[in-house]
A and B are shown apart, each in its own frame.
Chain A
Amino acid sequence: MNILILLLSVIIYASFGPINLIYILFSSITSFITAKYTKEKNRKLIFGITIVVNLLILVLFKIGIYVGIFGIPEKNIIAPIGISYYTLQIISYLVDVCKKKYEPQKSLVKYLMYVIYIPYLIIGPINRYDDISKSLYGKKHWNTNRILNGIIRVCWGLFKKYLIAGRIAIIISVITGNTAEFTGAYALFAMLLYSIEIYADFSGGIDMVIGVSKIFGIEVKENFDSPYLSENLKEFWRRWHIGLSSWLRDYVYIPLGGNRKGTIRTKINLIITFVVSGLWHGANYILWGLFHGILVCITKFLTTKSKTINRIINYLIVSILWAFFIWPTTGVALRMIGSIFTTFNYSSLFANLLNFNLDLANIIVLIVSTIMLIIFDIKKEKIILKIKNMKVETKIILIGILIMIVLVFGIYGIGFNVNEFIYSKF
C-alpha cells in the first residue's frame, strides 16, 4: 500500500512537469543522505550546508533572482510545485535529526513518502516528520467508519471551495478588474469578502487533503482552528495556517531567541519571523508580513474588554491586510487600503450589490453557505463528535446530500476557473 501511495504520488507529481521531479528528488535525496550517513564529526556543518542549499533554492525561486542570474524572462520562471511546502518539511526534518530529536529514516522509499506524499504537497499543510510518520508508514487497515469520515471531510472541503470560495472569487474579480473605479467602500467590501474566500479556499483544500489521507489511513494534522473567532492577531496566528505558523515558531522565532532576550529583542524576533512568513509567500508579500509583525507587537493596544468587539477588530485588521493578496502589486494594495479612509462611496456599493456577476439566487446560496461555515466553526467539536457517532447508513446519506449540494450549487464548469487553490501558488 505504501509503495502504491508513493508511486501514485510520483506519477501525479511528474504529470505537472518532469522538471518538478528533478528538484524534489534532489532535495529529498540530499537530505536523506545527510540525515542517514552524517557522522558526529562536522555534523552541524554538513547539516547546515544541506539546509542552506535547500533554503537557497526556495528563496531564489521566491524572489525571482533567477532573472538576474540567468537572464531568463520572469514569466518563464515557474517554481516547482509544492516547493514551499516540501522544503520546510525537509528543513524541519534535518534540524530535528541534527538535534537528535528522533532517529533518521533508514528507508529511502519511506522518506520519499514523507516528502512527496501528493495530497499535502500541493497546498500543505506543512507536516513534521514525527507527527506524521507513524500513520504514514503504519499498516493500512480497512475501516468503513474511517473511510466514510474521510469522504465526509472531502465533501465538506468541496462545499467550502465550490460554494463559497468560487462565488466570492467572481465578485472579487469584478472589483479587482477596475482599480480606478472600485476603490473605497468597494475595496473594503473586497477585503472583507476575500477573508472568507481565502479561508474557504485554503481550509477547503486542507479538508480534502485530510479527508483523502484519512481514507488511506493517514492522519494529517489540522491546519486551521476557526481562525476568525480569534480575539487578537497573536491568537489568529495560532489558529491560521498552523503548519506554517508553528514551523516558523520552532525554526525561526525560537532559534532567534524567542521571548528569552528581553522585550525589544522579542518584538524584533517577532517582526523578523513575520517578514520570513511574508517571504515564504513570495517577494510581494514581505510588506504584508511586516505589517502583521508590527501589529502582533502592539496587539494589547488593539484589544478591548468585549470578546465580540475584539473579534470584529481582529477580523477587520486581517481582512485589510489581505489587500496584499487581492491586488497584484504592493502599490495598488496600499492605494486600496488608503482609499478605505478617503473614499466614502458606500451608497454606490449598495446600489451595485447585484452587479458583480452573481444573481440574487447565487447571492442567497453564498450567504446561506457562509452562515453554515460560521456555524460549523463555532460548534465544530460538537458537530464532529456527532458525525463520528453517526451510523454508517446516516453517514452515507450525509455524503449523498453533500455531493448533491456541491454538484448543484457549486461554481465550476465552462467559464469558471476555480480548480486552482489560492495557496497552491505559494
Chain B
Amino acid sequence: MKKFIKILIILLCLIVIFVITSRLLSPKYMTDLVEGSMIAEYYDEVKNHEVIFIGDCEVYANFSPMVMYEQDGITAYVRGTSQQLLWQSYGILKETLKYEIPKVVVFNVNALRYDEPVSEAYNRLTLDKMKWSKEKVDIIKASMTEDEDFMSYVFPILRYHSRFSQLTSEDFEYLFKEKKNTFNGFLINKNIKPVGSLPTKKRLADYNFSEKCIGYLDKITKLCKDHNIKLVLIKAPSLYPYWYDEYNEQIVNYAKENNLDFYNLKDVAEEIGIDYQKDTYDAGLHLNLTGATKLSIYFSKLLKEKYNLTDFRQNKEVNKIYQEKLISYKSAIS
C-alpha cells in the first residue's frame, strides 16, 4: 500500500511537471501576438451582452463596444479572431450561446471568400486559448491544415516544444496569470498608415461562394432563428482585400431570401466620416482607433434604432461595471 501511494505521488508530480512545462512553452499572447488571447477574454466577462459580433479581424479592429455603450448604452462583445473562418464563427457562436442569448448577432461576411483552412498560425490564434468543448473539437477538425494533427491541440507541448530556445520574460511573467488586451473584444490600434495605391483588382475565375461556406452561413442563420436572435450581416468598410460586386450581390440575395438585414458599411463610409488617409492603421485593411470610433458611433445608432436594444446606462449594476471599463478604456486610448 505504501509503495502504491509512493508511485501515485510520483505520477502526480510528473503530471504537474508536464502541465507546467507545457504551459511555459505555449505562447502567452500577452504582449506579442495579442490576437491569440482574445478568444479567452470572453470567459471572464459578465454575460449580459445584447449584441455579439462574430467574424474576422474586420470586427475586432473596427467595432468598439465601449463607444457603443457610452453613446447608446448597448452592451456588446466582439468575439472576432484573426482570419476567423465560417466554421469557426459558427462554432464560436454556438459556444457563446451556451453562456448567453443576445438579441442581435452581427456577422461580418468577409470570411465567405475562404472555403479552406488558411494557415496553422491563424488556427492557433483562434483556438489555442479557447475552452475545451464539443464546439472546439468541431472547429479544430474543420480547421486543421494538412500538416496539423489533433493531438497537438490537446497537448500543446507537441506543437510548441521548440520554443524552449525562444522563451522570453513574458513566458515566465504570464505563466500563471493573464491580462486583458481588449475592451470587450475590441483591439485598439492607434497607428496611422494612409491608403496609398491599392493592389490591382484581379479578375477571379469564379465569384460564387462555395457550398461549404453557404452551408455554414445557413447553419449560423438557423442557429440564430432557433434562439430567436436577429442575425445582422455586415461587410466592414475595408478597402482591401477587395469585396467584389459579385460577392456583394450574393449576400444581398441571401439576406433577402432569409429575411436578414445586410449592411455594406463601405458604401456608407463617407456618411460615417471615415477618412482613409487618417483612419486606418494598415493602408485600408483595418480601421485604427479614430476610424473604429466613427464606425462604432454610426453602427451603434443604427442598432439602437432598428433592434430595440436596452439602454443599460439606466441599469445601476451593469452601468457600474461599464463605467469602470470606460475609465480604463479612456486611459488606454488617451
Contacts of A359 in B (CB 8 A): 165
* Distance between B137 CB and nearest chain A CB, rounded to angstroms: 20
* Distance between B15 CB and nearest chain A CB, rounded to angstroms: 9
Taking a contact as CB atoms under 8 Å apart, the answer to whether A393 and B165 are in contact is no
Taking a contact as CB atoms under 8 Å apart, the answer to whether A409 and B164 are in contact is yes
Contacts of A407 in B (CB 8 A): 18, 21, 157-158, 161
Given contacts A392-B3, A404-B18, A410 and B10 within 8 Å (CB-CB): no
Taken together as a complex, chains A and B put the C-alpha atoms of A182 and B231 apart, in Å, by 62
Given contacts A400-B17, A414-B120, A393 and B162 within 8 Å (CB-CB): no
Interface SS of A by simple majority? helix
**Which residues of B from 227 to 249 have beta carbons under 8 Å from A?**
none
Taken together as a complex, chains A and B put the C-alpha atoms of A412 and B152 apart, in Å, by 11
Which residue of B is nearest A415, CB measured? Answer: B147
Taking a contact as CB atoms under 8 Å apart, the answer to whether B161 and A397 are in contact is no
Taken together as a complex, chains A and B put the C-alpha atoms of A392 and B147 apart, in Å, by 39
* Distance between A143 CB and nearest chain B CB, rounded to angstroms: 16
Chain A: interface size category = 10 to 19
C-beta contact mask, A70-81 vs B, less than 8 Å → 1, else 0? 000000000000
C-beta contact mask, B140-157 vs A, less than 8 Å → 1, else 0? 000000011000100001
Taken together as a complex, chains A and B put the C-alpha atoms of A407 and B151 apart, in Å, by 13
Contacts of B18 in A (CB 8 A): 404, 407
Max chain A C-beta neighbours (<10 A), residue from B6, B17, B159, B161: B161
Contacts of B161 in A (CB 8 A): 407-410, 412-413
* Distance between B162 CB and nearest chain A CB, rounded to angstroms: 7
Taking a contact as CB atoms under 8 Å apart, the answer to whether B152 and A361 are in contact is no
Taking a contact as CB atoms under 8 Å apart, the answer to whether A414 and B147 are in contact is yes
Interface SS of B by simple majority? helix
Which residue of B is nearest A416, CB measured? Answer: B162
Of A392, A404, A411, A413, which one neighbours B17 at CB under 8 angstroms?
Answer: A404
Taking a contact as CB atoms under 8 Å apart, the answer to whether A408 and B10 are in contact is no
Given contacts A408-B21, A408-B157, A413 and B162 within 8 Å (CB-CB): yes
Of B14, B25, B148, B159, which one neighbours A408 at CB under 8 angstroms?
Answer: B25
Taken together as a complex, chains A and B put the C-alpha atoms of A369 and B14 apart, in Å, by 22
Taking a contact as CB atoms under 8 Å apart, the answer to whether B10 and A393 are in contact is yes
Interface membership of B118, Cβ < 8 A: no
Interface membership of A362, Cβ < 8 A: yes
**Which residues of A from 359 to 409 have beta carbons under 8 Å from B?**
359-362, 392-393, 396-397, 400, 404, 407-409
Contacts of A412 in B (CB 8 A): 158, 161
Interface membership of B11, Cβ < 8 A: yes
C-beta contact mask, B151-183 vs A, less than 8 Å → 1, else 0? 010000111011011000000000000000000
Interface membership of B268, Cβ < 8 A: no
Which residue of A is nearest B146, CB measured? Answer: A414
* Distance between B227 CB and nearest chain A CB, rounded to angstroms: 38
Contacts of B21 in A (CB 8 A): 404, 407-408
Contacts of B7 in A (CB 8 A): 392-393, 396
C-beta contact mask, B118-145 vs A, less than 8 Å → 1, else 0? 0010000000000000000000000000
Taking a contact as CB atoms under 8 Å apart, the answer to whether B148 and A396 are in contact is no
Max chain A C-beta neighbours (<10 A), residue from B3, B14, B120, B152: B14
Taking a contact as CB atoms under 8 Å apart, the answer to whether B10 and A414 are in contact is no
Contacts of B164 in A (CB 8 A): 361, 408-409
Taking a contact as CB atoms under 8 Å apart, the answer to whether B165 and A362 are in contact is yes
Taking a contact as CB atoms under 8 Å apart, the answer to whether B148 and A400 are in contact is no
Taking a contact as CB atoms under 8 Å apart, the answer to whether B159 and A413 are in contact is yes
Taken together as a complex, chains A and B put the C-alpha atoms of A413 and B159 apart, in Å, by 6
* Distance between A82 CB and nearest chain B CB, rounded to angstroms: 25
Contacts of A404 in B (CB 8 A): 14, 17-18, 21
Given contacts A404-B18, A413-B158, A414-B159, A393 and B3 within 8 Å (CB-CB): yes
Taken together as a complex, chains A and B put the C-alpha atoms of A359 and B10 apart, in Å, by 34
Taking a contact as CB atoms under 8 Å apart, the answer to whether B11 and A396 are in contact is yes
Contacts of B25 in A (CB 8 A): 408
* Distance between A144 CB and nearest chain B CB, rounded to angstroms: 10
Taken together as a complex, chains A and B put the C-alpha atoms of A284 and B120 apart, in Å, by 39
Taken together as a complex, chains A and B put the C-alpha atoms of A407 and B10 apart, in Å, by 19
Taking a contact as CB atoms under 8 Å apart, the answer to whether A400 and B158 are in contact is no
**Which residues of B from 1 to 16 have beta carbons under 8 Å from A?**
3, 6-7, 10-11, 14
Taken together as a complex, chains A and B put the C-alpha atoms of A410 and B160 apart, in Å, by 11
Contacts of A410 in B (CB 8 A): 161
In the assembled complex, 7 residue pairs joining A and B whose CB atoms fall closer than 8 Å, in A order, are: A400-B10, A404-B17, A404-B21, A407-B157, A408-B161, A411-B162, A412-B158
Q: Which residues of A contact B (CB under 8 A)?
A: 359-362, 392-393, 396-397, 400, 404, 407-415
Nearest 5 CB-CB pairings of A with B: A361-B165, A400-B14, A414-B147, A408-B161, A396-B10
Further contacts, 15 of them, CB under 8 A, given A409-B161, A412-B161: A361-B164, A361-B165, A393-B3, A393-B7, A396-B10, A396-B14, A404-B18, A408-B161, A409-B164, A410-B161, A412-B158, A413-B152, A413-B161, A414-B148, A414-B159
